[in-house]
Amino acid sequence: MEKTILKPKNLPPPTAPYYSWGVKVKDATLLFLSGVTALDADGKIMGVGDIEAQTRKTLENLKVLLKEAGATLQDVIKVTVYLTSMDHLDAQLKVRSEYFKEKQPASTLVVAKSLFRPECLIEIEAIAAI
């Protein structure tokens, strides 16, 4: 799969290194993943009250879903991140940068009053091209 990061000359670079303005994919199958949270195999929310732990578990769960479809995090072309507070932004970006190291996906951030369960601090949905 050929993936090209969009870098238009009439727009400034993205405001942070963790996303791209857009991603163009040639000859790929698209995979749409529902919002993923920090659930363990028994349905319990992991890392209650800890945004870094929840971000890490959420991204690990995302990796499991991608693997099931024959994909990896490097195949992700778009994420939508839902946070319950802007206070969590820097911590989740720190963890996220450990997972998305090159060819950053396009990204949207939404702050929501609440998520799947009251203990959830973050939810991430993704689109991958494989």
Beta-strand pair 76-83/106-111: parallel
User: Average pLDDT of 59-79?
Assistant: 94
CATH code matching the domain that covers 2-6+27-129, chosen among 3.40.190.10, 3.40.50.300, 2.40.110.10, 3.30.1330.40: 3.30.1330.40
User: Average pLDDT of 24-47?
Assistant: 90
What is the model's pTM?
0.85
**Residue bearing the bigger pLDDT, 9 or 49:** 49
Q: For residues 20, 85, 121 and 98, what is the CA-based torsion angle, rounded to 10 degrees?
A: 40
